[in-house]
Amino acid sequence: MQDIAGKAAFITGGASGIGLAIGRALADVGAKVTLADIDQAQLDKVTPTIEGAFGVRLDVRDRENWKTAKAAAEARHGPVDILVNNAGIGPDGRPFAEMDPVAFDRVIAINLTGVFNGVSAFAAEMQARGRGHIINTSSMAGLMINPTLGAYTTAKFGVVGLTETLRMELAPHGVGVSVLCPGLIDTRLGETTLAAGSERVQGTRSFSQSGLDATIVGERVLDAIRNDDLYILTHGEYRKFVARRDEAVLAAFDRTPASTELAAKGS
């Protein structure tokens, strides 16, 4: 999507951090931005700082809330052509064996099902119109394994798989799809995670401490929309960790006979 000016954008988790940075980047090139967030006070604070922006409260777990937020956004700016499923919370720092099922369900509901809810709300209409772009925020934790990130890693791997599949499904209809996999970014993730009800383990590394400026991420997302990139990365230093996992998977294939070889032995 080269021409972003005049396009309507809907961004979840838009009241701070990465979502707000994406909103600013899109507005700077003429997009009509709706910021959606569960934090009404923060939304009221930041929405006026983006010219022409519209703010709407949204709990991404609530499908009825999606319907009302979508209707309000489109009444203000028209049909949405850019959807950014960015809302999320961080890990609580517990290994799976010690994890409260309620905490697991919360992370999956916000970080993974919340992304699907956005796709469900907007993708069919983009497909029918033959245009649009969807960005789903995963994490570097969606490409590499980290102990004690538990449900967070599970959800973020799920977002990568969802996005890769969605891209294959929507590409023939002229709709682009990207997955954002950031490393450590300067955001309010720790604060919003606690606000969502998570009891983070003491000593868990803050995901908002000494991170990359979110403005840079907003610009990377803008470039990805224009170039129709599938993967949006922010921290090149993690390449070796992703490669290590990929190499382990490929090595397992090297030790596995092809099904045709197994069939020949069976005959």
Contacts of 96 (CB under 8 A, 6+ apart): 150
Identify the residue whose tokens are 């999320």. 88
Q: Running DSSP on this structure, what letter comes out for residue 212?
A: B
Contacts of 98 (CB under 8 A, 6+ apart): none
Q: Would you tell me how many other CB atoms lie within 10 Å of the CB of residue 18?
A: 29
Beta-strand runs (E) in the chain: 8-12, 32-37, 54-57, 80-85, 133-137, 176-181, 231-233
Alpha-carbon span 174 to 170, nearest angstrom: 7
Contacts of 94 (CB under 8 A, 6+ apart): 100, 103, 148, 150, 201
Annotated catalytic residues are: 152
Residue 229: both structure tokens together? 């990139």
Identify the residue whose tokens are 């919370």. 89
